[in-house]
Structure 1
Amino acid sequence: MKRKINYYLLILPFLVLFASCSRDAFNEFYGRPDYLEDPIYQQLEARGNFKNLTALIDKAGYKDILGKAGYWTMFAPNDAAFAQYFQDNGISDVSKIDAETASKIVKYALVYNKFRTDQLSDYQSSKGWVENSAFRRRTAFYDGFVTKTINGVPRVIVGSNRNGSTYYVSGDNNNKYVTYFADDYFTNQGLSAFDYNFFYPNTQYDGLNLFDGKVVESDIIAENGVIHEMDKVSLPKLNIDQYLEQNPKYSLFRSILEDHLVSYIFNQNATTAYRNYTGQSDDVYVKVYDPTLAYAPNNENYVKAEDNDGQSDAYTMIVPENDTLQKFINTKLLKHFTSVSQLPVYVWQDLVNAHMVQGAVWPSKKGNYINYLKEDLRFDFNTDITDKKVLSNGFFYGSNKVQHSDYFFSVYTTAYLDPAYSFVTRIFNDGSGFRDLISNIHQKFTIFIPSDAVLKSLGFDYNFLRQEWVYINPDNNVADAASAARNRLVRILYNGIVYTPNDELKDIATTSGVIRTGDFILPGEYIKYDHNRIQAAGNIEKGTYANIVGSEVQENGTAYYIDNIPKYAENLQGKAIAALAPNSTSQFYNFYQYLLNSTIYTAATGKIEGVELGTSCTIIVPNNAAIVNAVKAGELPGNVTTGVPTFNPTLQGDKDRVADFIRYHIIMNSTVSNDGLITGLRETLRKDEFGDKTFISITSSGGSLSFKDGTTINSVGGINPAANFIPASSNNLADRSLIHLVDNYLKFPR
């Protein structure tokens, strides 16, 4: 009988041998390479001079994290750094550091992602790495939920992690940043050791410093990141909100924020996260800053236009000390208010924004920055700055001076800080552009402002419930729509803003004349002034004045209080010409009679065809003698021998001549006076036989004004002399227009 062979026993050694070979191949392929450096924890442990740090890593529960794979940069304080830390804080050894402090030290030393020294200055933008544009990095540390007593009630709160109305995003822990100072960044930004030593005068700048610490050895490569050995222990820096809270020198500025510009808003997502993490049942409130501020001082992120923009920039706040700020409040803000509780919130918003910069203001470059009100920073960093700190979300400067803001020292200020002129201020602030115009202390203005009481007496009001303007005509009780009511008031107030670079109205109490309102970019209408009284075209229509009843001198001009409004005209320009020609003794009479009987005029409304209500124009009226000469020259219908006009011709050709004559004496889209503001060629209402525009030339200087047509020596009839304005009968106001009497007519060349 043959013995049966167990073939499985025969192949088993081969299977074992094969399995052994496969495992070796697997380990060789997938195993940890021999050349790979140890992880951060093992590196620190092996080096022998990080015993205190590794003890804190153990206590903080980060040994496992730092002893395995990952991607970190660690600014690791060595044992010498801890020896100094123990001495500074009265600690005998590392065992006396509690777990919470250990966690702070370890997490704040850890930066997300791996950065060698030649990468620290590079900004990780969404479009790729931007070289030498970064000086900060996000750490693993964040404050999280804290319990504080707010208005006598204990509350769990969390800080804003965004600016503006989107003040909190779930899942963003609001991690704090570290700031380092590196040669590559400094060179690229034009900075120097001065900028470092301004913050840290007792530490030498070494080309790479983390706060006031030095890098002893850099670029220690680990499996899970890179280590930079530091000679200083860094605890998490306070943010601007926290620094204000802890420093009594700025308690008044902080009280402005807390009392007027901070709210605590319940957040369900934050509440759910807190309850899941702690097992507690408390609600969580987000500490929210007014969305009009440049940024939320408790937001550790930057503006978040990109995820990593906090690497390349930070916030700056310059805060006046208590005594300095109190004096400013007493002498400036409370001039017309009895207590700070009466001040409108926009005053606090502007005051705080005047001290905020949405960028990191380096001391040597402070002239390159503007505050959130778009003003230059008016501080001398050598004498005005008494405190300087690099915080977790930006730079903080304490000051013995309040920002000399335009809003508090310009003609705008007069209404802005006076509750009796809140209507005017509301228009200035509501997007009209008036605030930016007249608050510029580098340009001089004179303004005329009516009080709320004056405006109410004239039919204006503001509906706070509906947040809209109201106007009811006191003559007929007809109400405007809200937008029309606002537009009416905007135009009236613009009639009271006058650009006066040479203090042109300084003698308004003893002189008279006309002057253009507005500025060069958007010229306004002309108004008349006469011995402390002003008139716009509408006042002249009704025979009224606005009397000056008081004034306040500011740095960029004078604000005058008035008892009426500089009212614009409700009638068309033709009505104004008619009022200037009541009978044949008026020097406007002949021109008006031609206009009255022309085919382009409607007497009932005063409408001149082609000239719309609200259109700027200049109407040049030849006096009676000039009209007679125009008749003799055949420019107008009438007796060419005697010059007697035919005001109402019957022939169509004569009617066309009259219409063209009038059109050629109307300058379109420009209001011309003898102030020299407008000269050169300007378009008229007349079109030539081809439908093209026609022009006349304007000369205005030294108080004189003349108009010249297009005639030349080769024209039929030769050169026509210029028409010079007659001062005593010119500068007559009409709807966005001026009407001048001149001593000659204008002749269109044929």
Structure 2
Amino acid sequence: MNKKILLILSFYFIAIVFASCSKKEFDEYYGRPENLEEPVYQILREKGNFSMLLQTIDKAGYADILGKSGYWTMFAPNDEAFNAFLQEKGFSSIDDIDSTLAGQIVKYGLIYNAFRTERLPDYQSSGGWVENAAFKRRTAYYDGFKTQNIDGQERVVIGSNRNNTDGTNYYVSGDNNNKYITYFADEFLNARGYGAYDYNFFYPNNTLSPLNIMQAQAIDTNIVAENGIIHETDKVLLPPKNLDDYISQTSQYSLFYQLLGDNLVTYVRNEEASNSYYNFTGNTDDVYIKVYDQALPFSPTNENFLKEMDNDGQANGYTIFAPENAVFQEFINEVLLKNYPSLDQLPKYIYEDLYNAHMWPNSVWPSRFQATVNGLEEEPRFDFDSEIIDAQQLSNGFFYGTNKVQPSNYFYSVYTSPYLDPAYTLMTRLLNDPDGYRNLISNINRRWTLFMMSDEVLRNLGYDYNIDRSEWVYESPENGNIVTGNIAKQRALRILYNHIVLTPNDELDNLSGSGIIRTGDNELPGEYIKYDNNTVYAAGNEVLGNVVNITGSETQNNGIVYFTDNLLEFSEEAPGLDLKRLAEEPNSGYDYFFRYLENSQFYNPDGSTISIVTLGSRYTFIIPDNDAIQQAVDDGVLPATDTGAPNFSPSEFEGQEQVANFIRFHIIADRIISDDGKVTGQYSTLLKDELGNATFLDFETSPGSLTVTDENERVANFIPSASNNLADRSLIHLIDNYLSFTE
């Protein structure tokens, strides 16, 4: 016999002998340990009070899965729970539960991975366990494909399983969008400051226990099986709808959903989803993804929360507040359609803001609702005890039905007046620009006055927006010169800011008198405007010789809005020209100072410009009156002339640097100061000392009073009747003394 064959047979014989001799030892080593628990299915059978659950598992086709493999947590309703469920549904026996309903019961009660009660409150973050931060777990249940009528056509639809934050990543193939189950564990509630109020807000007829799974109580926990953990419950749970399904299928909110679906939902054919549908059903129909607008904070179809980390849905969810039809219709009639003829005329951004105002990208708990903000960064503005008419814990978030519309800043502030009026689209575009002031004037906690700028007025005065080129355009009505892009936009924004006034005490509610007021707010001060007998005007209006007439008004929650026939325009002439005109007025008190100015080293008579003053920058001119100038001459602070200060001619005096320093010391840089009490303190002049450091004057202001003090304790008061003169981003005051600086 061949030696090789003989060798093989010898080894074969030895193996048989070894196997027969060591079978006992082999089984002892590799066999199933005697103390190992049975799988979930067998444990349920051994317990004896899960007979109906076992029949349901059989119908769902999960007997093999739960009887062998996996690693599960199962919330297992006992027979008593099933009896109550059958009675509630009107079923005569367990036989009335079909395979579809059985699948819902079984798969929604199954959580991936095995969790004892001490782990259920902990969040499985990518960085490790976060204790007492979780109140949900992903289940084995998901909805899958649905057939819906979309625009009159039957379509196979599946919901997006991601939030559409970038317009493209709204669906990930292979993710079944599994539903989450919500539970209430003592450890989580105590750690987060929640309690029975939060639970009973959703389940008013149930009692909070150490562990509640939705409306069920866990009555026997941590039952160990080979392939998981079982928690016995006293109720049969069905998978709840997600937020999208609930609002789309609940007639009480049909109007809220209709506007949402008509304006912020699209259906996009998806190749991967179509292939999956074909592999699953053999059907070749196209599958469409239900996609929510990317301007919204989340997609109500998405069961995965943010998915920034795989399990972040364990620790948070979404919230929607939806007004019932009657109050929503009232809001439509009184607010949305106050100036628009129909809903289809509303710009898309209005719908985006409206639904952002009702959507929270986080879980809004009833007892801690004020700590959360919506898609517009506003807190919920509801009385939870009287204005919430429906509270639901859904698979991907909380739902609150309301008997009022969220009083959002954008719909109940002075911003609302241009925002919801098609006659003011250019003004709204400016306000909505990233460099605009939408958030400023829509702040419901501050009082504002807003002067309106209609499209007609803006266009008549040269301002427009080129849609095709996405840029602002300005054409001068005086000379026809055209500027475009950022230059035109910044010009329009400066005009706009003249029309926004912070009025914490409703200072402009009555314009029948006269006065002066600063535009903008305290953080971003604007220019000054004046009002007189229901007209208003800015520095540019004085130059152009016109005023702005008030043609109407309306009151919003945070202030008053005035409709006008003109723009509050800024001045484009040099302040030197304003000073010249003031000096030319009879007995103005400005002429002595101006004579020194026009003969100084930095005055250009051709354009009445002052070289040390930049057009468009902020200044306050504090001009000593004639008597003060004469005193400065007498004191040697200003050089005298051959003929005396009041009558000198150009170049009749010596000491140009002395004059230049005097002028610089009476101009405040980068600050507009009036007698309104808004600005008090030490502010720098245009004069630098011999080391190049700024020099300062002290200002004390209050309504009707402005006092200036120099370092020598010399005090000057402004003369009200000759002060508060408007100029380019400046005010010009007449004071009763001169101020001096000592090197």
> TM range, normalised to the smaller chain?
over 0.9
Q: CA deviation at 1:20?
A: 4.4
State the alpha-carbon separation in 1 of the partners of residues 694 and 21 from structure 2.
98
**Alpha-carbon deviations, 1:374-405, whole Å to 9, x = none?**
22322111111111111111111111222222
Deviations 1:479-510 (A, max 9, x none): 212222221111111101011111111221x2
What are the within-5 Å matches in structure 2 for residues 394-413 of structure 1? 394-413=397-416
Measure, in 2, the Cα distance between the counterparts of 1:12 and 1:534: 110
Displacement, 1:283?
Answer: 1.3
Looking at structure 2, the residues matched to 494 and 268 of structure 1 have their Cα atoms a distance apart, in angstroms, of 50
Pick aligned residue for 2:290 from 275, 279, 287: 287
State the partner residue of 1:350: 353
Find the aligned partners of 1:26 and 1:683 in 2 and give their Cα distance.
95
Q: Structure 1 CA distance, aligned partners of 2:95 and 2:286?
A: 36
Residue 328 (str. 1) matches residue 321 (str. 2): no
Letter paired with 2:592: N
**Residue 591 of structure 1 aligns with which residue?**
593
* Partner Cα separation in structure 2 for residue 422 and residue 8 of structure 1: 93
Corresponding position: 1:548 with 2:550: yes
Question: Closer, same or farther in 2 for the Cα pair 1:209/1:623, shift >3 Å?
Answer: same
Which 10-residue stretch deviates more, 513-522 or 485-494? 485-494
Identify if the C-alpha distance between structure 1 residues 27 and 731 changes in structure 2 by more than 3 Å, giving closer, same or farther. farther
Secondary structure of 1:683's partner? strand
CA distance in 1, matches of 2:7, 2:529: 118
Q: Relative to structure 1, is the Cα distance of residues 226 and 611 closer, same or farther in structure 2, using a 3 angstrom cutoff?
A: farther
Q: Distance in 2 between matches of 1:64 and 1:374?
A: 49
Give the Å deviation of 1:649.
4.5
Superposed, which structure 2 residues align to 1:338-487 within 5 Å?
Answer: 338-487=341-490
Kindly state the Cα deviation for residue 444 of structure 1 after the two structures are TM-superposed: 0.8
Amino acid paired to 2:718? F
User: Which residue does the alignment assign to 1:495?
Assistant: 498
> For the structure 1 residues 602 and 161, does the alpha-carbon distance in structure 2 shift closer, same or farther, using more than 3 Å as the test?
farther
For residue 744 of structure 1, what is the aligned residue in structure 2? 737
* Equivalent position SS for 1:270: helix
* Alpha-carbon separation, structure 1, partners of 2:67 and 2:642: 111
Matches within 5 A, 1:182-201: 182-201=185-204
The separation in 2 between residues aligned to 1:421 and 1:13, in whole angstroms, is: 98
With 121-130 and 161-170 compared, the bigger mean Cα shift is at 161-170
**Separation (CA, whole Å) in 2 of partners of 1:12 and 1:367:** 78
- Opposite residue 55 of structure 2, the aligned amino acid is A
Matched, 1:309 2:312: yes
- Of the structure 1 ranges 478-487 and 184-193, higher mean CA displacement relative to structure 2 is found in 478-487
Do the aligned partners of 1:633 and 1:640 also contact (CA within 8 Å) in 2?
no
Shift of 1:92: 2.7
Q: Work out the CA distance in 2 between the residues paired with 1:583 and 1:664.
A: 24
1:53 aligned residue: 53
The separation in 2 between residues aligned to 1:566 and 1:7, in whole angstroms, is: 109
Within 1, Cα distance between the matches of 2:235 and 2:245? 22
Instruction: Specify the SS of the correspondent of 2:687.
Output: strand
Q: Give the aligned partner of residue 681 of structure 2.
A: 680
**Matches of 2:295 and 2:505, distance apart in 1:** 36
Aligned partners of 1:170 and 1:217: how far apart in 2?
38
Distance 1:344 1:599 in 2: 57
Q: In structure 2, do the counterparts of structure 1 residues 565 and 7 end up closer, same or farther at CA, with 3 Å as the change threshold?
A: closer
Partners in 1 of 2:10 and 2:457 — Cα distance? 115
Report the AA paired with residue 675 of structure 1. D
Cα distance change on mapping 1:650 and 1:267 into 2, 3 Å: farther
Q: Rate the CA distance shift 1:8–1:659 in 2: closer, same or farther, 3 A.
A: closer
* Partner Cα distance (1:141, 1:7) in 2: 58
Give 1:705 shift: 0.7
C-alpha deviation, 1:36, in angstroms: 2.5
Name 1:716's counterpart in structure 2: none
Alignment correspondent of 2:3: none
> Quick one: distance in 2 between partners of 1:221 and 1:10?
48
Q: Is the 8 A contact 1:632 1:641 kept in 2?
A: no
Tell me the secondary structure at the aligned position of residue 581 of structure 1.
Answer: helix
Q: For 2:571, what is the secondary structure of its paired residue?
A: coil
3-state SS of paired residue (1:288): strand
Q: Please, which runs of 5 or more residues in structure 1 have no aligned partner?
A: 1-5, 713-719
Aligned twin of 1:616: 618
The residue aligned with 2:636 is 634
Matching residue of 2:523: 521
Q: Give the match for residue 116 of structure 1.
A: 116
Q: Alignment RMSD, CA only?
A: 2.2
- From 718, 726, 734, give the equivalent of 2:727: 734
1:39–1:666 distance in 2 versus 1, CA, 3 Å: same
Counterpart Cα distance in 2 of 1:518 and 1:28: 86
Q: Which amino acid aligns with 1:224?
A: N
CA distance in 1, matches of 2:576, 2:317: 61
- CA–CA distance in 1 between the matches of 2:206 and 2:263? 39
Q: Which moved more, 1:577-586 or 1:224-233?
A: 577-586
SS at 1:396 equivalent: strand
- Residues 245-254 or 13-22, more deviating: 13-22
Structure 1-normalised TM-score? Answer: 0.94
Contact 2:389/2:402 (CA < 8 Å) preserved in 1? yes
- 2:651 is aligned with 1:658: no
Q: Which amino acid aligns with 2:330?
A: K
The 1:608–1:115 alpha-carbon spacing in structure 2 relative to 1, beyond 3 Å, is farther
Aligned equivalent of 1:537: 539
Indicate conservation of the 8 Å contact 1:632/1:640, yes or no: no
Kept after mapping to 2: 8 A contact 1:240/1:298: yes
Select which of 223, 226, 229 maps to 2:229.
226
Q: Write the distance in 2 (CA, Å) between the matches of 1:11 and 1:365.
A: 76
Q: Are 1:388 and 1:397, in contact at CA under 8 Å, matched by a contact in 2?
A: yes
Q: How many residue pairs align between the two structures?
A: 735
| Residue 708 (structure 1) shift | 1.1
Counterpart of 2:40 in structure 1 is 40
How far does residue 325 in structure 1 lie from its aligned partner after superposition?
A: 1.1
Structure 2 residue identity aligned to 1:561: F
Which amino acid letter does the alignment assign opposite residue 436 of structure 1? Answer: N
Where does residue 267 of structure 2 map in the other structure?
Answer: 264
Written as runs of structure 1 = structure 2, the 5 A alignment for 1:692-711 is 692-711=693-712
Distance 1:274 1:643, change over 3 A: same
Q: AA paired with 1:478? A: N
1:12 to 1:647, Cα distance in 2 relative to 1, 3 A: same
Report what 1:162 is aligned to: 162
Write the distance in 2 (CA, Å) between the matches of 1:496 and 1:35. Answer: 82
Q: Indicate conservation of the 8 Å contact 1:199/1:389, yes or no.
A: yes
Aligned to 2:559: 557
Match of 1:725 in 2: 718
The residue identity in structure 1 corresponding to 2:634 is K
2:220 is paired with a residue of what secondary structure? strand
Q: Distance in 1 between matches of 2:11 and 2:564?
A: 114
Question: Does the 8 Å CA contact 2:77/2:235 hold for their aligned counterparts?
Answer: yes
Q: Deviations over 1:77-110 (max 9, x none)?
A: 2222222222211223333322222222221111
* Equivalent residues of 1:637, 1:646 under 8 A apart: no
Give TM-score, length-normalised by structure 2: 0.94
User: Which residue of structure 1 aligns with residue 101 of structure 2?
Assistant: 101
SS at match of 2:384: coil
In 2, are the aligned partners of 1:411 and 1:559 still within 8 Å (CA)? yes
Instruction: Provide the secondary structure at the position in 2 that maps to 1:326.
Output: helix
Counterparts of 2:585 and 2:183, CA distance in 1: 85
Mapped contact 2:641–2:652 kept (Cα < 8 A): no
Displacement of 1:253: 0.6
Alignment CA distance shift 1:338-1:15 (3 Å) = closer
Quickly say closer, same or farther: Cα 1:20–1:485, change in 2 above 3 A: farther
Equivalents in 1 of 2:514, 2:389: separation in Å?
Answer: 51
Q: Say if 1:530 and 1:277 are closer, same or farther in 2 by CA, change over 3 A.
A: same
1:317 counterpart SS class: strand
- Partner letter of residue 608 of structure 1? I
Q: 1:581, 1:587 within 8 Å by CA — same for their partners in 2?
A: yes
Cα distance, 1:649–1:77 mapped onto 2, change above 3 Å: same
Contact 2:642 2:648 in 1 (8 A): no
Q: Hey, what's the Cα distance between the residues in 2 that align with 1:595 and 1:749?
A: 21
